[in-house]
Structure 1
Amino acid sequence: MPEPALLTSRFTTGEPTIGAHFVRAALAGAVRLGHDPVPLLQTARIPPLLPGDDRARVTPEQFTALVRAVRRTTRDEFLGLGTAPSRPGTFAMMCHACVGCPDLGTAVDRAVRFYGLFPGGPALALEHGAEEAVFAVRNDLRRLPEGRFLAECALVVWHRLASWLIGRRIALRWAEFAYPAPPYAAEYGRMFGCPVRFGAHRTGVGLARHWLSAPLLRDEAGLTDLLRRAPADLLRRRDYGTTVTEQVRGALAAALREDHRPARLPEATETAARLAVSPATLRRRLAAEGTSYRRVKDQVRRDAALASLAAGRETTAELAARLGFSEPTAFHRAFHRWTGTTPGSYRRLSPAPAPTSTSPSGV
């Protein structure tokens, strides 16, 4: 089962945070098996009441720690979300089975056959078309909402692993899901970096067929290094700039990393010039992706604030200044709008940092 991303060592990256719905999904299998979710949340420095608030969000670091805790507790790479557990080490053996293949298509076919030997998880398939290939999850995973989370993670980790194997980022043409759009559907575009649709007849992603003939560039030595951090590194969200929204987010996050205080986030006209488009074109393209410049800027500030408060390395006043707020009270109002609580309450509710594991297995 894939692990979501570790936050980079610098907490000012503006890396997107993760909604409470994904926290609930990650916990669901352990809860169904009778495990107490509170210690799991505390291990990840997530307030125990947070999953019940749909507005709440956590950092990638917190989410990764939660998934690791669930994996340790359930001894299941599927986090208890399948009909049968996937024993720790299964993913690593699949990677070893694939790394010696001559091309990506052969590797993916082998991965599909490998996981087909084990019941209880995503039923994977690689479909070949004349110009397009589809990597799909064919089963409904018990028709549970949390089972969708397992299917989505399977698609994400496959995409990242396949890109790593050929040494190039594979551009997905689309991602589709065999269930209605959830309230948090807007987050899927950031997860997959391509157009997304719901209510489809299957769950899968599409890519140009030529990617399957790409030769594998990785060897056993490289795989050994990858597996020291995997599967967390494969699910680490990398900003590939495949959408206008991601390009704008990258420009704003870069501004927050600059050393001067307060931060000066670029105006829409400046970002449009950087992207070599007119302001009107930028607004139109962002609207086509279901967002706006103001909304993206708000999200970048929100995610940077949550990352900082979870890390505990800045005072509230320092954080407000770094995010470009004219005064701390303005930051407090914005934070309450984002989360329904205050920065101080959010920080107090977070447990003390857990010791950092040095295990090479990543669990």
Structure 2
Amino acid sequence: MENPQNRLALSLLAYAAQKDVAPERLAQVSHIDLQALRTNPAETLTPKQFGDLWLNAVHLTGDPLFGLHFGESLQLAALGVVGQLVQSCATVGEALTHAAAALHLITDAVRMQVAQSDRSFTVRFLPDPALEKAPVLQQMLELFMVFTLHEADGLVLKKISPLAVRLPYELSNPGEYERVLRGRPEKKPGEYALEFDRRYWDEPILTANYELQSLLLKKVNEQNRHFEQAKALNERISHYLLTNAYLGIPTLEQMAANFNTSPRSLQRKLQEEGVTYQQVADSIRKTLAVNYLSSGRYPVKEISYILGYNELSAFSRAFKRWTGTTPAHYQKGRFSA
């Protein structure tokens, strides 16, 4: 079965070649078997290989904005079945919804979230907190932001400009970001986001094909099952908890029911992987707490409730155990920096 991440890696190598970097050299210094990558659809890169590929591409091309420029050049075909699915959708909104649901097939480093309001809709790109300090993460986030914006043009044959562009850091080259993203980015802690006028949500896609979409959805679901089954149980549970964060953190019994097993069997399998359900759940609570506090959109008391704490004091104690500081001090520090 084709690995969608491989298509992205091959596209990165092809783009580096356009920048006068030999793909063979880039693959070699990243410890990647280029021949296997080209000929074996199921070839799997390790997270380190994929990260090294990005970092070496930045170094060898001499382009610190490699992710930004790579995103500008990328085509939907580079995403394989996920790109085909996007092209078959009827509207921009439908395409974004399907893209958000399938992005994990391409990378676990970034999630995509789409939210609507009466006047606009916002596409947020959420980094994996476990990779928060990885040098490659910013490159990948910028890639998907630019790619989303530019591919929308190709789907509707219309140049779309966002109402707002938000990034969590100061830019060394704001003019280039403004050119590529069609808007001057504003700094907002914890945000990689594009906000669009609501009218673009229902913009029709010229390549819409519901019959093809039905076939592609089956293929995507099949790939979902394949990738999920290949993951360790604690990874699958973590992914479930993050994806369904709006429902709160389920109990061990509820999680076991979701995975069609007994609580005892679930706990035993997790223990074989060296963790308990409580540890996995607490790790996700910490991840969500940091993200919610960093976004600045929720008061501490509401975050405590969302994460399943009956008392604010219990949440504060847990957060201090995780980070060494209280939720209030953490949030204050993020926004006073």
TM-score by length of 2: 0.41
Instruction: Give 1 or 2: higher helix fraction.
Output: 2
TM-score by length of 1: 0.39
* Highest RCO, 1 vs 2 (Cα 8 Å, sep ≥ 6): 1
